Structure 1
Amino acid sequence: MTYVGSVVIYPCSKKIPVVNLLTYNMQKLPNFIIIGAPKSGTTSLYFYLRQHPDIYLPPEKELNYFSKSYEAKNLNGAGDSNAFNRGYHSWATYSQQYAEVQHQTAIGEISPNYFYYATQVGKSIHQQLGTVKIIIILRNPVDKTYSQYMHLVREGRETLDFYQALHTERRNWADVWRYAESSLYTQRVKAYFQLFGKKNVKVILFHNLVNHTQSILTELFEFLEINPDIKCDTSKIYNRTGKPYSKSLANLLTNANMMKRIGKLFIPKPVRQALTLKMVDLNTKPKESMDNLSREYLKRFFENDIIELDTLLDCKTGW
C-alpha cells in the first residue's frame, strides 16, 4: 500500500478512476474475512456475529467479490450461473455494501468459496484490502464432503447418488460440485498462513463451534480485538442440509423466477434472506446417513491430508 497525505491507497486489480480514489479509500472496508470452509457453520456464524455491536457484516452473507473471476470460468453445472449472479462483481458494488458502517471497528465479510481458490483469492484480498484478519472453520472432511453433496441435493441440482457423484469428473463446474477435492485443507490453509501471517489467521474446528459455541465466539471476539463479553443468541442452527420434501419448492427457492424478481422490489434484502432460509429449512428432511462404501473411500482419500493438517496446525483434529 502507499500513502497520499493521510489517505491510504491500496493497489487494486482493476483501475479506479482518479476522481474516485479518495472516495473509495475514505470509506471503511473489511478488516476481517471468514473464508469458509463451506458447510462448516458459516451461515450460523454470520447470524451470531451480527449480534455484536462492534461488528459490521453486510446485509447479504456471500459477496464473492474476490472469487468472481475464477468462478466465471466454471459455470457449467446446474444452477451455477444463478449462484454466480448473486455475487458482487465490481469494486463499486462491493464497496457499497459497507456504506452503512458507523461506529463498528470489526468490519467483515463471509464468503466460503474464498477457501477453495486459496492462493488466487488470498492474493487478491491482500492486494486490495491489505493484511486483514482471516477466519477459517474446518469440519471433518468426510462429513463436510457429504454435507456439500446434500446441499446440492436439497437445492434440486444434484441427481447422482453420493458414491457415483464422488467419482464423476466435473470439469468447468463450480467448486461446490468438487466434493472431496474441495475438502483437502492443508495446502489451502498454508496459502493463507503465508499470505497473511499465522498470527492473523484464526482456525476453528467445526465440532468446537458446535459443542462450545459461546467459548468459540469469545475467542473470535478477542481475535478481532473487540469486547469479548458480549453474549449472543446461538440457539438456532442455520442452513442445515438434507433432501427436500418438495423438489418444486426447492427449485423455486433456488432458481431465478418471477416471484423472486417481484420480491426484490418490495422486500428488503435481509428480510428476503431470512425468509428464504426459513422456507428452505421447513422444506428439508432430516439428513440420511452416508453409505459405508463412500465413507470408507473418503477415509482413505483424506488420510494423508489430515496427518499433514495436524502437523501444520500443531494440534490433533481428532479426525
Structure 2
Amino acid sequence: MNMNKIFVHIGYPKSASTTLQKNVFEVHSEILNLGLFGTENIGKDTYNISNSNIYLNDSSLRNFYDTITSSHSIEYSKSNVLEQMQGIFKKYIMDCEGKKKATVFSHELLTSVNFSHPDIGLKATRIKEVFPNAKIIIVIRNQIDFLLSQYRDQPFDPRNFSCGRHVKPDKWIEIALKNDLPLLKSLKYNEVVKLYFELFSKDNVKVLHFEDLILDKHRFATDLSSFMNISLEETIDSLNKEKQNDGTTHYHNVFRRILRKYPIVFNISKNIPKNFLIPIKNTIERKMQRGRKARYSFNEFTIQTLKEYYKSSNVELNDLLDLKDYEY
C-alpha cells in the first residue's frame, strides 16, 4: 500500500480542527479528504453541511475511526483494522485521481481524552500500525487558553462532563488537578510530540500553532502548505473563510445549566415522540446559539498554578520546537 501521500491530522481539539476539516481539507483541490466532518459541535457552529463529504456518507470510514479512537485493547484487532483500511484504500485512493492528491485522515479524538480512549500513546501506536509512512499534523494551543475554551464548552464537573453539576472555572481546574485528570496531562505537549517524533521521525511530523492561525494566518498557511506540498494561495483563501466553530454562547450554557439542575425536563421529554421533539430541540438550540460568546476567565492563582504545572513540559517542548514566538 503506497502511503507516501498520506497525512494524518490528529488534533488537538479546541485548536481549529473544525476549521481545518471544513475550510481546508474538504475544499482544497489538491486534497482527498477522508477526515471527520463535524455536524454536532457544541459551539456556535455555522451548520455547514457537505452532502458530498465522504465521512458523512460512508459508515465504514466512520467505523474505522471509532475503532482506532475508542475501542479498548481487548476489543481491538489489528488485522481487522488493516482490513478496513485496505477497503478504504481500494475505494478512494487507488484510482488515478486519488493517487494525485494528498490524502488526509483527520480526527481530533486521536488526541482527545474526554470522549474517546484516554490513552493517547495507544492511539498513536495504532496510527503507526495502519499508516506506517504517514506524515503527521498536530496543532497545539497555549494550555491556559485551551482549558478556558474547553471549560466554555463543558462548564460541568470535569470528572463527568455528561451529567456532572455546573462548577465555576477555578473550581473546575481545582477538581481536575486534585484528581489528576487525563485532560490536564494530555496537554503536556512535549510527551505527545516526542512520541510522534519517535514513531514517524521528526521530518514527518509538523507541529502548527493555533496562535498563528489567529495572529499570523499567512505563516500558518505557509507551514501547512509546505509540509503537504499543496498550493499556498488556495490554502490562504480557504483559511480566510468564516470560522467554523466559534464556541458556545452565554445563553446556551445557561440553558444547559437549567437542564442539569432540573432533570425533570428530560423525563418529560421522554414521553414526547421523537419526530416531534427533535425539530423543537434543534430550534431551541439554534436560538440559544445566538448572542455573545460565553466569556470566562481564571483567577490569578489558578493561572499561576497552571503555569507551574506545565512549566517543565513547556521547557522541554521549547527544546524540541523553539517556542520563543509563543507564550507557552
TM range (shorter): 0.5 to 0.7
Residue 322 (structure 2) pairs with residue 314 (structure 1): yes
Aligned to 2:155: 153
Equivalent runs, 1:49-198 vs 2, <5 Å:
49=24, 50-58=26-34, 60-61=36-37, 64-65=65-66, 66-70=68-72, 92=84, 99=91, 103-104=97-98, 105-115=101-111, 117-153=119-155, 159-168=166-175, 178-198=182-202
Aligned to 1:294: 302
**Residue 281 of structure 1: how far off its partner (Å):** 4.6
Residue 230 (structure 2) pairs with residue 226 (structure 1): yes
Aligned to 2:7: 32
Conserved 8 A contact 2:148-2:296? no
Q: Are residues 293 and 314 of structure 1, via their aligned partners in 2, closer, same or farther at CA, if it must alter by over 3 Å?
A: closer
Q: Are residues 31 and 162 of structure 1, via their aligned partners in 2, closer, same or farther at CA, if it must alter by over 3 Å?
A: same
Aligned to 1:207: 211
Inter-partner Cα distance in structure 2 for 1:108 and 1:163: 38
Count residues with an aligned counterpart.
Answer: 263
Q: Which runs of 5+ in 1 are unaligned?
A: 1-7, 9-24, 74-88, 264-271
Inter-partner Cα distance in structure 2 for 1:276 and 1:118: 36
Conserved 8 A contact 2:140-2:210? yes
Residue 50 (structure 2) pairs with residue 41 (structure 1): no
Question: Which of 241, 245, 248 is equivalent to 1:239?
Answer: 245
Conserved 8 A contact 1:32-1:108? yes
Q: 191-200 or 277-286, which moves further after superposition?
A: 277-286
For the aligned residue pairs, the C-alpha RMSD in angstroms reads 4.3
Q: 203-212 or 189-198, which moves further after superposition?
A: 203-212
Q: Are residues 205 and 60 of structure 1, via their aligned partners in 2, closer, same or farther at CA, if it must alter by over 3 Å?
A: closer
Q: Are residues 35 and 285 of structure 1, via their aligned partners in 2, closer, same or farther at CA, if it must alter by over 3 Å?
A: same
Q: Larger % of helix: which?
A: 2
Inter-partner Cα distance in structure 2 for 1:96 and 1:295: 45
Normalization by structure 1: what TM-score?
A: 0.67
SS at match of 2:303: helix
Conserved 8 A contact 2:137-2:205? yes
Aligned to 1:268: none
Residue 274 (structure 2) pairs with residue 258 (structure 1): yes
Percent of matched pairs sharing the same residue = 22
SS at match of 2:307: helix
Q: 192-201 or 159-168, which moves further after superposition?
A: 159-168
> Aligned partner of 2:184: which letter?
A
Q: Are residues 280 and 196 of structure 1, via their aligned partners in 2, closer, same or farther at CA, if it must alter by over 3 Å?
A: farther
Q: Are residues 148 and 70 of structure 1, via their aligned partners in 2, closer, same or farther at CA, if it must alter by over 3 Å?
A: farther
> Aligned partner of 1:212: which letter?
D
Conserved 8 A contact 1:141-1:183? yes
**Residue 197 of structure 1: how far off its partner (Å):** 0.6
Q: Which runs of 5+ in 2 are unaligned?
A: 39-61, 76-80, 113-118, 260-269
Inter-partner Cα distance in structure 2 for 1:55 and 1:276: 36
> Aligned partner of 2:221: which letter?
L
SS at match of 1:232: helix
Inter-partner Cα distance in structure 2 for 1:122 and 1:183: 15
